[in-house]
Structure 1
């Protein structure tokens, strides 16, 4: 399987393209796409592409399902897939516990409120010294 390197500004799999050459490589690429929380683009035999969130895979049937942005669902046979590209941003990238703790410590040390909003971004509010 050929794998293009991940650009350094895109941590994780975003921007990575897998071109599997065996059934095992294809299954591995699909498993990674299933675990990925962003959109993928599947290139099929004949050049057709399917883009969306790969939300389901049935290993025994060697099929996966992709939900497009408009909500439509497409079932794809593993054997029809010639390339898997991780095209969408994975919203969980950079939200590890270690990253959260690093931000927490940095903000606490700077005298800022050490919490994150519902999107995992630091809250920019100075702590109330009257406390």
Structure 2
């Protein structure tokens, strides 16, 4: 019979602080869509963006909304983006080929030092002996 493996004790408090990553600030950015690759890259960033974007379609329609899904096919015609329009309740789907312009118009909820600010408040509450400290989302505008 083999000996049981000895596990090192882990201090949970030491695991609470994890280095983050630098978040690209895209708020206000209007990418140049000179090529198919530019469009695909901008839509990937729109998918990762935690704010609304404004799409201008080739027919002139402009829609502000939140991108929640995308599918990349072989060409622009069989690639599409899905989004929740800021005005309305129905999800929409648009072909990459129908998009003329992308603007990152909404506030980026993931930008800034929200995590660092929360962590500082958490440490202060913990040092004061507070129990049941929870993460609460920032109020939406």
TM superposition score category, shorter chain reference:
0.5 to 0.7
* CA deviation string 1:99-128 (max 9, x = no partner): 5556667x68xx8x8x7861359xxxxxxx
TM norm structure 2 = 0.62
Partner Cα distance (2:44, 2:99) in 1: 13
Shift of 1:96: 5.6
* Number of aligned residue pairs: 110
CA distance in 2, matches of 1:71, 1:30: 22
1-side partners of 2:134 and 2:105: how far apart?
Answer: 27
RMSD value, Cα: 3.0
Paired position in structure 2 for 1:66: 83
Aligned to 1:32: 45
C-alpha distance in structure 1 between counterparts of 2:120 and 2:135, whole Å: 16
Deviations 1:38-92 (A, max 9, x none): 1110111132112100111000131111111322222111111111111111212
Structure 1 residue matching 2:31: 3-state secondary structure: strand
Q: Which structure has the larger Rg over C-alpha atoms?
A: 2
- Find the aligned partners of 1:71 and 1:90 in 2 and give their Cα distance: 21
> TM-score, structure 1 length as denominator?
0.66
Partners of 1:51 and 1:102 lie apart in 2 by 34
Residues 118 and 104 (structure 1 numbering): CA distance in 2 closer, same or farther, change over 3 Å? closer
In structure 2, the partner of 1:54 is: 67
Q: Partners in 1 of 2:117 and 2:41 — Cα distance?
A: 27
- Equivalent residue in structure 2 for 1:92, among 110, 113, 117: 110
Q: Would you tell me which structure has more strand in proportion to its own residues?
A: 1
Aligned to 2:95: 77
